[in-house]
């Protein structure tokens, strides 16, 4: 199947792009007071009676603007032009700061699963190209954004080789997915339904699966597995509805979030694996996921609870 690749996300410019603009703006800011007649101090008031700043807001904005009444038209035009430069400069700095602190700006990989061409999935972020594995059944369905990849068999999946993350140190994986209602049927309820992983059933490596109606993260040495499992009484997986599961690991603690809210955590160690990351089954050979995956984002650090919540909110827009 061939699907046209979605355009890559557009990033805001970095603050460094404003370097050449700095001398001009600073000169205009420096010469601005000379164009504005002094305003009597008695007329200046803070913007709020409860303001804690020692400098009244009017000193920088209100008084200069009021003073425009007392200067000629030529001076007024100059002042407005210089204020425009100041606003542009400050807006650029603020936008660059927001982008630098945005969780998505730090992602090392992102896949939408609808940009498929000749069984290859182009990344929206990063360089790792996904590969649709053979012997699987797939269907493109409507997702939250574009199309989602619906899995329909026990085997197959999407392989993401050589993801540049040390899973034993720290990571975050954000998955937007939908569970089929058939997953809750008695014959399927007690079966593993793997969302992603780079290991076998007991490691070594990491694995996120659905089992007995709960979300379960596993890691082990190949013989014994350590797990963090959601409390089914406190959290019930939605069916036939897209939602977001996020797993973070900071080197000592695994936390699972659902739609930005913490639903489980445990102090544990994640073991190393030489296997590639597989989405939709366990190594492409068993425990196929029963549902669709719309989006997957990987970070090489553990996102904070605030960052996870912000990503979940962004998915609902």
The percent of residues in the chain predicted with pLDDT above 90, rounded, is 50
Please provide the average confidence, as pLDDT, over all residues in the chain: 76
Residues 166-180: what's their mean pLDDT? 97
More confident residue, 99 or 287: 287
pLDDT at 57: 37
pLDDT at 83 over 90: no
Domain ranges of the chain: 15-100, 104-315
pLDDT at 163: 95
Give the pair of three-digit tokens for residue 186: 């008695």
Q: Measured between alpha carbons, how far is 149 from 152 in angstroms, rounded to an integer?
A: 10
pLDDT at 208: 97
pLDDT at 162 over 50: yes
pLDDT band for 81, please (50, 70, 90 cuts). Answer: low
Pick the CATH number of 104-315 from 2.60.120.200, 3.30.2390.10, 3.40.50.300, 1.20.1730.10: 2.60.120.200
pLDDT at 196: 97
- Cβ-Cβ contacts under 8 Å for 202 (sequence gap 6 or more): 218, 220, 221, 222, 223, 224, 225
pLDDT at 180: 96
pLDDT at 29: 45
Residues 112-131: what's their mean pLDDT? 90
Q: Measured between alpha carbons, how far is 169 from 251 in angstroms, rounded to an integer?
A: 5
More confident residue, 157 or 99: 157
Q: If DSSP codes are grouped into helix, strand and coil, which group holds residue 88?
A: helix
Helices (H) and strands (E) in the chain, counts: 6, 17
pTM: 0.68
């Amino acid at each position: 199947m061939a699907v046209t690749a979605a355009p890559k996300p557009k990033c805001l410019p970095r603050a460094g792009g404003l370097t050449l603009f700095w001398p001009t703006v600073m000169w205009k800011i420096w010469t601005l007071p000379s164009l504005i007649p002094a305003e009597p101090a008695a007329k200046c008031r803070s913007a709020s009676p409860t303001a804690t700043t020692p400098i009244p807001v009017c000193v920088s904005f209100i008084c200069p603007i009021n003073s425009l009444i007392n200067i000629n038209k030529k001076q007024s035009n100059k002042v407005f032009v210089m204020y425009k430069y100041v606003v542009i400069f400050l807006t650029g700095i603020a936008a660059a700061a927001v982008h630098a602190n945005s969780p998505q700006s730090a992602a090392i990989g992102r896949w939408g699963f609808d940009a498929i061409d000749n069984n290859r999935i182009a990344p929206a972020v990063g360089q790792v190209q996904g590969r649709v594995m053979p012997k699987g059944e797939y269907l493109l369905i409507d997702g939250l954004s574009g199309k989602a990849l619906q899995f329909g068999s026990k085997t197959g999946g999407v392989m993401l080789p050589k993801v540049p993350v040390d899973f034993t140190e720290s990571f975050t994986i954000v998955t937007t997915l939908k569970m089929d209602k058939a997953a809750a049927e008695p014959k399927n309820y007690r079966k593993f339904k793997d969302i992603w992983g780079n290991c076998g059933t007991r490691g070594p490596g990491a694995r996120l699966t659905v089992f007995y109606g709960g979300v379960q993260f596993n890691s082990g040495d190949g013989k014994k597995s350590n797990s963090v499992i959601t409390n089914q009484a406190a959290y019930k997986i939605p069916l036939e509805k897209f939602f977001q599961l996020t797993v973070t690991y900071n080197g000592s603690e695994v936390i699972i979030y659902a739609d930005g809210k913490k639903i489980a955590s445990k102090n544990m160690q994640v073991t190393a694996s030489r296997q590639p990351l597989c989405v939709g089954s366990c190594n492409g050979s068993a425990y196929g996921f029963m549902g669709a995956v719309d989006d997957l984002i990987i970070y090489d650090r553990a996102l904070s609870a605030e960052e996870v919540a912000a990503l979940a909110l962004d998915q609902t827009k």
